[in-house]
Amino acid sequence: MKERRNFLKSFTKVFKEDKKENIIVRPPYYEDKDFFYKECINCDGVCSTFCEENIIKIAQDKTPYLDFTQGGCTYCDQCAVNCPSDVLKVEYKKNIEVKIQIDMLKCLSWNDTMCFSCKDPCLENAIDFVGLFKPTIGQSCTSCGFCISYCPTNAITIK
């Protein structure tokens, strides 16, 4: 399966150059946004060092954000467990606060080319296909972001 995804990616690099909206995605373990901003700027980004998928990055303002370009969030809790200022806590755990969508115009499957690149890495089995085509994202989506990096045409977006 991975070979097929890489093969498709090699032919679709042109799509990856599209401009993306600058949506900042935060780790799913904080409760109070004001406390998050106040305390994270005083930290050295410890949470990013414990991320098993290496998707937590530290912005210029020293706040953590998720970068789905190379993977997704497994909700492993390690960023929260190791947060030195208790901004991120396991008891605040929630789904990531974004909506994942499929752009039908860019999606290979929506355009009659068989592709399951988004479905294969989905941890929640949240992507359904009508027949072999027309993928849709279902209610069980946790917005983990794994599907984003695997899409060879950059058809999966964050809103």
Residues 119 and 86 grouped into a single domain? no
Q: In angstroms, rounded to a whole number, what is the distance separating the alpha carbons of residues 17 and 3? A: 22
Tell whether 130 is covered by a domain: yes
The total of structural domains in the chain comes to 2
Minimal CA–CA distance to 43: which of 88, 74, 73, 77?
Answer: 88
Residue 66 lies in domain? 33-92
Provide the CATH number for the domain around residue 133: 3.30.70.20
Q: Is the pTM of this model over 0.85?
A: no
Domain's final residue, options 92, 110, 142: 92
Tell whether 106 is covered by a domain: yes
3-state helix, strand, coil in the chain (%, to 5): 25, 15, 60
Residues making up the chain, counted from first to last: 159
pLDDT of 18 strictly over 50:
no
Tell whether 88 is covered by a domain: yes
Tell whether 56 is covered by a domain: yes
Give the model confidence (pLDDT) of 48-83 as tens digits: 999 999 999 999 999 999 999 989 999 999 999 999
